[in-house]
Amino acid sequence: MPRPRQVQPNELALRLQAFGPQTAQALASGLRVDRSNISRAFALPGLARQVIRLGTTRGTSYALRRPVRGLGDTFPVRRIDAEGRARDWAELTALHGGWRVVWAEPSRAPAWADRVLALGGFDEGFPFYLGELRPQGYLGRAVGRALPAGLGLPRDPRDWSDDDTLVYLFSEGDELPGDLVVGDGPLVRYQQGRLAPPAGAIADADRSERYPALAAAIAVPGGGGSSVEGEQPKFLATLAAAEGGGPTRVMVKFTDQLATSTGRRWADLLAAEALALALLQARGEAHAAPRLLDAGGRRFLETPRYDRVGAHGRRGVISLRALHDSFPGPATHDWTVAAAALAIDGLIDAATLRSIRLRHAFGRLIGNTDMHFGNLAFWFDDALPFRLAPAYDMLPMLWAPVAGEATPAPEFAPALPLPADREVWHEAAGWAAGFWAELAESPLVSAEFAGLARAAGAALARARAAA
């Protein structure tokens, strides 16, 4: 009787590379050997370290580690708390066919973990909370252009693969949005920073000089209007500690030169954004009222970052885009439809859903046509339900400059609510009516934009009377 064929390590490795995680029976069938041969092959020195077992019960599968560009195959993920202290949170392993996530404290795994991970912590796609950290928007493209060429990454982060994102996080990720840090290098740099005063902190009295210099360093002629993703040019800054307090991390939007038509219109829009966020902040929907500053021929809108706490603390945040892409839901671009699906799945509660409906209605009633899923965020915690983070980027983008037209004046025609939305709509309409009335009288906007505000307020009044 002929001796059963023995499986060679390279045969198993090639199959796991080609097909991703496989059960022992699937491997045996594919290689036309007895299943016992597969188990023996996994114990061979050439495979023992490279093969990961996913699960411990029936249905267990096996996967092959995959090195990522000389960085290894396993990456620690830490979280920074509000006091600035790091804790081990998870370990990410790159596999052929996906990724594995192992929690640092399995007994305290995130409440949402089983919704996104298969047996053994396997995830076919790159973890949503890490993919979210890929540089995005205006700031993201500036980051991409400034990265060292040695990283081998495309200059535009929109062209990055998952591996590109991981290389960036592992190499440059000590100052990311939110509270996650991947790898030892970024964590070491972050911890070193805790022991030193904030680099480049700006005294409040120096903002009028420093902000124009920072804007001039990154501004592109004609680039003060909406970017490809509808974002205003901006930079990050740290304000020096005021008496009795600590440093403040801020995000600062800025305009073209106010002497230009585009710059003047964006100055009007930033004044409108400051007012909208102040109104929302007074109703518990925004973090802090922004500050406006006219200096160096530009207007600046300065908003404290809500993902930073004190000098070094951080808070996790996650966008509606990331949640909508990661948890099953309807194909939609509407905040309220996507949020309703999250509520049905128990990912957000009824109060959060109502706040989202209010913000969405308010945005529509002030002409915000840029409420994409990156412009709504949640606190990213291990617990469920996810809680709504403060509002941001809330402004009347209907009147934003467009190609070939610096100061458009489209007609504002607010839609009437459906019966199920009437109560929330009327509450938001009251907020919007106050917004338009105050904006029309604001000395911070041009006479032209004040006229647009009066006309919008009148259109809203007609809609409220008919609703």
Name residues whose C-beta falls within 8 Å of residue 193's C-beta, 6 or more positions apart in sequence: 174, 199, 312
**Rounded to 5°, angle at Cα 10 from 5 and 11:** 50
pLDDT tens digit string along 20-73? 999 988 998 898 888 877 878 777 777 878 999 998 777 789 999 999 999 999
- Averaged pLDDT for residues 165-189: 96
Q: Are 232 and 193 in contact (CB under 8 A)?
A: no
- Averaged pLDDT for residues 144-173: 95
Average pLDDT, the chain: 92
- Taking 60 as the threshold, does the pLDDT of residue 229 lie above it? no
Nearest to 303 by CA among 333, 273, 283: 273
By annotation, the residues acting in catalysis are 370
Q: Quick check: bond before 110 cis, omega within 30?
A: no
Query: At 229, which helix (H) or strand (E)?
Result: none
Q: What six digits make up the tokens of 364?
A: 């529509």
| Predicted pLDDT of residue 222 | 40
Nearest to 97 by CA among 62, 71, 131: 62
Q: Does domain 204-304 have CATH number 3.30.200?
A: yes
Nearest to 436 by CA among 420, 425, 452, 416: 452
The more confident residue out of 7 and 265 is: 265
Q: Are 16 and 63 in contact (CB under 8 A)?
A: yes
Residue 82 vs residues 111, 268, 315: alpha-carbon distances, Å: 21, 35, 6
Sheet harboring 298-304: ordered strands across? 234-239, 248-254, 298-304, 291-295
Judged by DSSP in three states, 292 sits in strand
Nearest to 129 by CA among 324, 318, 379, 365: 318
- Other C-beta atoms closer than 10 Å to the C-beta of 293 total 17
End-to-end CA distance of the chain: 87
Q: CA 224, CA 467: separation in Å to the nearest integer?
A: 38
**pLDDT band of 3, cuts 50, 70, 90:** low
The dihedral region occupied by 200, where left means phi > 0, alpha psi between -120 and 50, and beta the remainder, is left
| Predicted pLDDT of residue 174 | 94
CATH topology of domain 317-466: 1.10.1070
Comparing 196-200, 330-334, 393-397, the range with the smallest average pLDDT is 196-200
Query: What residue segments make up the domains of the chain, in order of their start?
Result: 9-63, 74-194, 204-304, 317-466
- Averaged pLDDT for residues 321-337: 95
Q: How much of the chain is in helix, strand and coil states, percent to nearest 5?
A: 45, 15, 40
| Predicted pLDDT of residue 223 | 39
Residue reference for tokens 């509000």: 82
| Predicted pLDDT of residue 58 | 75
Q: Are 376 and 359 in contact (CB under 8 A)?
A: yes
Chain centroid, CA 357 distance in Å? 20
What pTM value is reported for the model? Answer: 0.93
Share of the chain above pLDDT 90, in %: 79
| Predicted pLDDT of residue 197 | 76
Which spans in 96-238 are helix H? 113-116, 128-131, 137-146, 162-172, 184-194, 207-218
CATH class of the structural domain 9-63: mainly alpha
Beta pairing, strands 122-123 & 98-103: antiparallel
